[in-house]
Chains A and B, each alone.
Chain A
Amino acid sequence: MKLIRIFFRNVANAFKSIVRNFSLSSASLICTTITLLVVAIAIIVAGNINNFTRNLSNSLTMIVFVDSGATAEEIAQVKQGIESIKDVKADEIIYKDKKTLKEETLENAEKGSTIYTIVSTWDDNDNPLEPEFIVSVKTANKMEKTADTITSLNKVKSVKYSEKVLEKMIPLVEIVEKVSICIIVGLIIVIVFLIGNTIKLTIYSRSEEIEIMRLVGTSNNVIRLPFVIEGTILGILGSLVPIAMTIWGYTICYDKLGGIFFAPAIKMVEPMPFTIYASLILVAIGAIVGMLGSYTAVRRYLKV
């Protein structure tokens, strides 16, 4: 009961204190808001780079042509062989037999065209099309190795994939992705220092209050509590403007650009739920940094 009373009293006191120390609270708030705005931009950029890389990776496929004379048993063995390769998405392997390929060709060809006329004359025995597997792979830089492994399988005639350019591009994008994550982490560290120092300044100006608390018999944990709550509140309040800018600003950008960034291949992440996740990250950073900043700043004035 006592602890609950202390907690709620301190929550109330934290709000009162924010109002009473308005100028210092405003300084912390502005500092948090500005730094979190930078983080918001970094999160949006990183999210989109990540999305771009993921889209590229997901579209990595290769076609495995099987010898047209292969029996059903041999085709099953080829499939097993492909499935056993680590870098292959085993549950996404698509098999197309001669008949399916013929139907697809007819569907895609214009009626009355030469191709249509020729293909339509083929029956099951003289269909020259080779059965094929469409195989999705997990990582771009291992495509060549995977293709070689598949080629070595019995009854596999050839393997084709056209993502040679992507194969070279993806590692580059991955580097950009890693760099953007490093930038975010770096920014968070800078923010911890910036917000932490602003809070330290606030607490320094209230060191007498801490001294009085100690002298009237307040435990160290209870001394910390109002400052920690206040830091958390300021952190959360400081994240509100960046959150609003993230949701509102990004949605507008997305609509104006039509969801495409410069080139059709670079699709932007849809605003929902992306901006919600980004907002949650922002509020969490604000709250945690505010809380830890206050905790460590108060510690300096406690004889612990």
Chain B
Amino acid sequence: MKFIEIKHCYKLYRDGVAAISDLSLFIDKGEFVFITGETACGKSTLVKMLYREEKPTKGTVIVGGINVAKVPNSKVYKLRRKLGIVFQDFKLLPKLTVYENVAFGLSNAGVANSIIRQKVRLALERVGLKGKEKSFPKNLSGGEQQRVCIARAIVNEPKLLICDEPTGNLDPKTSKEIVKVINKINKEMKTTVVMVTHDKEIVNSMRKRVVTLSNGVIVDDTQKGSYVADEID
């Protein structure tokens, strides 16, 4: 059984636009997968279905044995505690310190302070932000803010790390550093990584599995692939 099983999935929006059409995708545990494609090809919709921000109109989405589409709204939080999500716009709380941002989910889950301290320290060490605990996001660079976001995503040691265009707001040098951090997490923590990107350079430099989408369907799926979205009409 695969860690992620997306079978014959469709996602139709209210205006009739099909974001995903009969899409099937299987991802192994510990795999690092790039999801690429032109703008509005369904990449973000696909990953949103993984963390149940979107429900498929038809088909099944199974993550770690859980049929995500069948999780009731009131229980979605339980699924999300098992996942880590990294966003293009960081989604950090500006009035909280780095420590408080990373600890946010654990704190709301009622985890004991001693455990939170331990986990946050470890997560910040992993992303290379040791010593920045008391800083506020506004005092950090874009790359550092994204590291905080990654630290928050991995603090609970999730089995799956979903990254939705994590380098979209960063310069090429910082983008490479961020991808390095994500790759390190994938290797050291054996975390499955699904990363949406249209950063050609990064995809080509990593030589990982590349799934390319166009108009809501998979048009290319290559192990140790490269960025081919440009070549697809």
Most chain A beta-carbon contacts within 10 A, residue among B74, B77, B78, B93: B77
Give the shortest distance, in Å, between B59 (CB) and chain A (any CB).
20
Q: Does A270 contact B (CB under 8 A)?
A: no
CA distance A55 to B27 in the complex (A): 82
Q: Does A92 contact B (CB under 8 A)?
A: no
Q: Does B99 contact A (CB under 8 A)?
A: no
CA distance A215 to B109 in the complex (A): 13
Q: Does B80 contact A (CB under 8 A)?
A: yes
Q: Does B105 contact A (CB under 8 A)?
A: yes
B95 x A219 contact (CB < 8 A): no
Task: Name A219-274 residues within 8 Å CB distance of B.
Answer: 219-220, 222-223
Give the shortest distance, in Å, between A210 (CB) and chain B (any CB).
11
Q: Does B1 contact A (CB under 8 A)?
A: no
Q: Does B104 contact A (CB under 8 A)?
A: yes
Given contacts A215-B51, A216-B104, contact A303 B110 (CB under 8 A): no
Chain B residues, Cβ within 8 Å of A216: 80-81, 85, 104-105, 108, 152
Task: Name A194-210 residues within 8 Å CB distance of B.
Answer: 208-209
B93 x A209 contact (CB < 8 A): yes
Q: Does B205 contact A (CB under 8 A)?
A: no
CA distance A101 to B112 in the complex (A): 82
B110 x A215 contact (CB < 8 A): no
A218 x B105 contact (CB < 8 A): yes
Stretch at the interface among A2-10, A79-87, A114-122: A2-10
Chain B residues, Cβ within 8 Å of A303: 73, 76
B54-90 CB mask vs A (1 if < 8 Å, else 0) is: 0000000000000000000110111111110100000
Residue of A nearest to B156 (CB): A217
**Total contacting residues, chain B, CB less than 8 A:** 26
Given contacts A303-B73, A303-B76, contact A217 B109 (CB under 8 A): yes
Give the shortest distance, in Å, between B228 (CB) and chain A (any CB).
31
Q: Does A96 contact B (CB under 8 A)?
A: no
CA distance A1 to B173 in the complex (A): 46
Q: Does B200 contact A (CB under 8 A)?
A: no
Give the shortest distance, in Å, between B91 (CB) and chain A (any CB).
5
CA distance A272 to B209 in the complex (A): 78
Give the shortest distance, in Å, between B96 (CB) and chain A (any CB).
9
Q: Does B204 contact A (CB under 8 A)?
A: no
CA distance A75 to B19 in the complex (A): 95
CA distance A215 to B90 in the complex (A): 12
A217 x B74 contact (CB < 8 A): no
Q: Does B223 contact A (CB under 8 A)?
A: no
Chain A residues, Cβ within 8 Å of B73: 303-304
Give the shortest distance, in Å, between B153 (CB) and chain A (any CB).
8
Q: Does B107 contact A (CB under 8 A)?
A: yes
Most chain B beta-carbon contacts within 10 A, residue among A3, A216, A218: A216
